[in-house]
Amino acid sequence: MLRKLVIALIVPLVLVGAALAQPDARQADSVNYATSFGNFGRDAYVYVAIERGYFRDAGLDVKVTSGTGSVDNIKLVAAGRLDYSPVDIGALVVTKANEGLPVKIVSVVHQNTMSAIFTLEERGITTPKELEGRTLADSPASTVRILFPLYAKKAGIDASKVTWRDAAPPALPALLASRQVDGIGQFSAGLPLVSRAAGGKKIRSFKYSKVLPGLLGIGIIASEDKIRTNPGQVRAFTRALNKGLAWSIQNPGAAGAILAKYQQLADPVVAAQELRIMKFFVENKQTRARGYGVGYIDTGKLASTISVIRNGFRIAKPVPALDLYSGVAVPARRPR
């Protein structure tokens, strides 16, 4: 009897000791992610998801690099050098139609496009037409630059009369402030950053959404191979990222501080201001009233985006909406 009691006490201890000696059976999946365009407040949500443990809880180890624009990010995801990245959906329609790259949207960040051209009010450019004869700066792979011919067509601008200067994302605000260029490509949420760089001078914004109301903005993409072979990871990553996005727009001050922790050159106050602006592009009546949540894919709006891009760029073989997105991670439907 005593012998049985001793064994009964020892066996659990041995099992516990063996468990402690073993490495964690569930190793975190390594994930490579690039921001949309530099490291501004609009991309803070990925760092929030890291800091608050959303990725860790999903079994993911996410490494973040600075993106240089939608076209570059699309190609890197298609080539397998990135697992996920935010890209402009309009730019994706063009790139996928022209090059047939095997990537799909798995979540939508901005339910409307934030693309815009910023100028200093003191430059005297009061209408889009007055951009003719001027020099604008942006990254060659930037969404704003890629879609500019379409914006120009709708806004009555002769795009051939606009000169573009190549510049990296971090350099754009200073180029505008120093009057080295007449305007820069930016997202609407970038207004606080550009205003600060310009010493508080008034900024005039020409928003693409004014003449292109049917365009979706940024979406998260993954490769078709990743979606097919590892849908569980796609779901886990996307849902964790969207938790970071939802928390960021509700807590912009804290999210800005988290961004500054990971990116020391980021100004937490400016980042928070960007997120306050971005909230109006992330949420709409579908994400709120219908309870679909941030990231929801509006297939009707996606079809509208494809139509606008097809007509503007005269794409010979437009991409069907079903080939552009996957509903593996978030709701994807046409609102009633």
Q: What does the pLDDT read at residue 251?
A: 99
Q: What does the pLDDT read at residue 313?
A: 84
CATH code for position 261? 3.40.190.10
Query: Is 291 inside any structural domain?
Result: yes
Q: What does the pLDDT read at residue 335?
A: 62
Q: Write down the mean pLDDT value for the chain.
A: 91
Candidates 271, 324, 274, 272; CA nearest to 298 is 324
Q: What CA–CA distance (Å, rounded) separates 215 from 302?
A: 8
Please check whether residues 179 and 81 belong to one and the same domain. no
pLDDT in tens, 95-153: 999 999 999 999 999 999 999 999 999 999 999 999 999 999 999 988 899 999 999 99
> 67-83 as b/e, with b when 16 or more CB fall inside 10 Å?
bbbbbbbbbbbbeeebb
Do the Cβ atoms of 95 and 87 come closer than 8 Å?
no
Please check whether residues 59 and 137 belong to one and the same domain. no
Q: What does the pLDDT read at residue 9?
A: 44
Question: Where in the sequence is the domain holding 169, given as residue range(s)?
Answer: 115-210
Q: What does the pLDDT read at residue 336?
A: 56
Q: Look up residue 112 and give its DSSP letter.
A: S
Query: Is 16 inside any structural domain?
Result: no
Q: Look up residue 218 and give its DSSP letter.
A: E
What pairing do the DSSP bridges indicate for beta strands 60-65 and 29-34? parallel
Q: What CA–CA distance (Å, rounded) separates 260 from 271?
A: 8
Please check whether residues 123 and 163 belong to one and the same domain. yes
- pTM of the predicted structure, to 2 decimals: 0.87
Task: Describe the crossing of helices 44-51 and 231-250 by its angle, rounded to 10 degrees.
Answer: 100
Query: Is 20 inside any structural domain?
Result: no
* Residues of the chain where predicted confidence (pLDDT) is lower than 70: 1-26, 289, 335-336
Q: What does the pLDDT read at residue 209?
A: 93
Residue found by looking up tokens 């679909």 in the block:
292
Classified as helix, coil or strand, 51 is helix
Q: What CA–CA distance (Å, rounded) separates 157 from 244?
A: 39
Which of 178, 210, 242 is the endpoint of a domain?
210
Which of 154, 184, 210 is the endpoint of a domain?
210
Query: Is 255 inside any structural domain?
Result: yes
Q: What does the pLDDT read at residue 118?
A: 99
Query: How are the residues of the chain apportioned to helix, strand and coil, as percentages rounded to the nearest 5?
Result: 50, 20, 30
Do the Cβ atoms of 195 and 161 come closer than 8 Å?
no
What does the DSSP assignment read for 12-46? HHHHHHHHHHSPPSSPPEEEEEE-SEES-GGGHHH
Return the amino acid letter for 137. Answer: A
Which of 162, 192, 210 is the endpoint of a domain?
210
Q: What does the pLDDT read at residue 312?
A: 85
Q: Look up residue 251 and give its DSSP letter.
A: S
**Structural domain count of the chain:** 2
pLDDT in tens, 196-228: 999 999 999 999 999 998 899 999 999 999 999
Please check whether residues 235 and 302 belong to one and the same domain. yes
Return the amino acid letter for 138. Answer: D
